[in-house]
Structure 1
């Protein structure tokens, strides 16, 4: 361990980690992983991050050890080794909001609703039920298991994921004043990470919103600036439209896309000053972005520009420029960069291939441009399970239904 970082971990060994839990029961190994983040062994640091992602944030689940780890991670993000800070910010973001952006990217997080749901699923709500079950149990093994669960709940835990996730969210919320220092740093990646994180904390918006608008106006890096602009659109009241609208005329297309996306979110709020003409301009920008995607994108919606545009357009009230909206949606349809559930892929296949192809299948070069784009994206997709989830439909259509077969079909005809 490098001594200069020892102060960041003050109190780490005072925590009863063995009494806390993560995905693999006792969290006794967490302090060792956190300490490794501040070491000088790059491979060990990588393994420590993997272990933390898989234990205190396991496939989106948070545990009693998760919020306790947050203050130490926040210190590392602000003042830890350069090699550890960006990845630590990513872990803090996931601990706070999981993949909420996949679902809430057009509206922002409804924290009030989340808090209300969590309040109905807290330990005090579950404890009477466990005590009732324990009193009625007669089997010794069942009583032992129920006693352990009852004691765990009595210690202030809840089996409801909404409650446990909120504990980590609030732990990160408490660290935001210190993390704001990253906005003023020289590291562009860290500025982008903290900007993205701020987008999901409406309760902190009185502090963050002015900083985000200023960053969008003066930041040199377009990705960081666009991230800030979108964050402002997710957090801001209707009056924020006045600050965002000028960015529709930005020279950088990524900024115009961000402004358009933010304005559509604001247009869905009550008493918004965003009129039909402005919505029309926003839809035009989203259509242009769908047709000519950028080399660099933001982290929103896992970096899936077309998925983000599609979600944004579908959030518009019915009847909002239907022809131009349909045109933009059609431009998004064949582009599959990221699709966590596979639903976008299946929908695109259904719409672009409404009927089975003749046998034998036509040459790839004879398909429409949209069909070629879709199959090309699927063939080169990072996650093979995405094609497996659509394999039955591809087979019914007479198309290759494995990634290897798709790659051969696309590649052979592209080079023929």
Structure 2
């Protein structure tokens, strides 16, 4: 904890106000009391990473967390690494999958809003607010901004990201930690720093040569794909022949990413076909092990990878996505269904509704059948329903169920057919 008292924590902010309680929580992580350690870690998650938001105190906590991850009590190191991961990227940032973090775009977005613009916006809100309590609250928030304890979410997230980036070289030895959970977290963390690829990739590749854990191997392979380029193809291809389905999935995921990356020369038709085949196999029979990527949603990750390869084999991709849609969490289906609809029906159907059998391809048929089951529909499906309508397809669940020839399952609140 060297240097802990040198930080003016009271002048920094977190989710619940001033950050003077952080030194005690950081110190408690290193204590002998297990309950106190767990409580401190829970408090830190809530304070400096609250529902995805990072605060002015967040980057100042990072160097101490990095030291604890390296040398703190073994039971807490996995959780501390998880906190460092979340201080780097949250679930919104990670949705750049399958391409990884677009750090150039992130830095550009963070630079858009200046402090002067933020303060001017609050001045306008304060002047226009008739309610005394709300106006006073706005004044308090403005004062926090002016003191540097609050900032635009993109900018505050980037400060934390860069703080972790500065510690990353020192954290790479954790790729060789005796605990598989720590090795997994270290590999996952390293996957999100493309600006450090030259340092990170050799460490990941070295670990792959000796790694014996299926989950750690898969995590490393995906990380290599997110950071690397087509020159690593020969490293990744042998893992397509692995016995474990999770490792084959990870190798295919990595190859899909480097093969579809902007400026890539491509994998070649045979290898691309092999990658798509492995991904569609995994879509039909998802590996059972847990992963960190995409919040643990392997079918969702498969669908993202497949859709990036749609130009190579649209039919296989659509069939694979259909399998994924019915297997992924419901809160992930919307974006996948919308993107896949653009692939399946890039143009509206001509001359009204086409016959389902005989006119649509197998991939189009299976995709629409999956949409009936997976949705989203109702309040969360307005965008998808609008996209279906724009392509002259049935735009309600009941209507689409009739069109694709599935029996009524009693779940449709609306039974009328509104087609096109």
TM-score by length of 2: 0.75
| Structure 1 residue 60 corresponds to structure 2 residue 52 | yes
Identify if the C-alpha distance between structure 1 residues 242 and 272 changes in structure 2 by more than 3 Å, giving closer, same or farther. Answer: farther
Aligned match of 1:118: 110
Aligned match of 2:245: 253
3-state SS in 2 of match to 1:218: coil
Aligned match of 1:312: 305
Aligned match of 2:334: 343
Of 231, 236, 243, the match for 2:235: 243
3-state SS in 2 of match to 1:277: helix
Query: 1:82-231 residue pairs with structure 2 within 5 A?
Result: 82-100=74-92, 102-123=94-115, 126=118, 129=120, 151-156=143-148, 159-231=151-223
3-state SS in 2 of match to 1:278: helix
Q: Which moved more, 1:44-53 or 1:186-195?
A: 44-53
3-state SS in 1 of match to 2:209: helix
2:164 and 2:88 map into 1 onto residues whose CA distance is 6
Aligned match of 1:29: 21
Identify if the C-alpha distance between structure 1 residues 265 and 131 changes in structure 2 by more than 3 Å, giving closer, same or farther. Answer: closer
Q: Is the Cα contact below 8 Å between 1:244 and 1:259 reproduced in 2?
A: yes
Deviation at 1:28, TM superposition (A): 2.1
Q: Which moved more, 1:118-127 or 1:34-43?
A: 118-127
Deviation at 1:140, TM superposition (A): 12
3-state SS in 2 of match to 1:70: helix
| Structure 1: 5+ residue stretches without partners | 1-8, 351-367, 379-385, 402-416
Q: Is the Cα contact below 8 Å between 1:239 and 1:273 reproduced in 2?
A: no
Q: Is the Cα contact below 8 Å between 1:267 and 1:274 reproduced in 2?
A: yes
Render the CA deviation track for 1:198-234: whole Å, top value 9, x for unaligned.
1000011110011112223331111111111111111
| Structure 2: 5+ residue stretches without partners | 342-365, 382-395, 400-407, 413-420
Q: Is the Cα contact below 8 Å between 2:249 and 2:278 reproduced in 1?
A: yes
Q: Is the Cα contact below 8 Å between 2:325 and 2:337 reproduced in 1?
A: no
Q: Is the Cα contact below 8 Å between 1:339 and 1:345 reproduced in 2?
A: no
Identify if the C-alpha distance between structure 1 residues 342 and 140 changes in structure 2 by more than 3 Å, giving closer, same or farther. Answer: closer
2:185 and 2:174 map into 1 onto residues whose CA distance is 9
Render the CA deviation track for 1:256-304: whole Å, top value 9, x for unaligned.
1111111111122213241222111001111221222222132111111
Q: Is the Cα contact below 8 Å between 1:342 and 1:389 reproduced in 2?
A: no
TM-score by length of 1: 0.76
The runs of at least 4 consecutive aligned structure 1 residues that moved more than 6 Å come to 134-147, 344-347, 386-390, 393-397
Aligned match of 1:302: 295
1:99 and 1:65 map into 2 onto residues whose CA distance is 20
Render the CA deviation track for 1:80-135: whole Å, top value 9, x for unaligned.
001110000001100110114651220010111111111222436545x3697599
Q: Is the Cα contact below 8 Å between 2:218 and 2:247 reproduced in 1?
A: yes
CA RMSD between the two structures: 3.7
Aligned match of 1:282: 275
1:134 and 1:400 map into 2 onto residues whose CA distance is 45
Render the CA deviation track for 1:382-407: whole Å, top value 9, x for unaligned.
xxxx99969xx999965469xxxxxx
Deviation at 1:155, TM superposition (A): 3.9
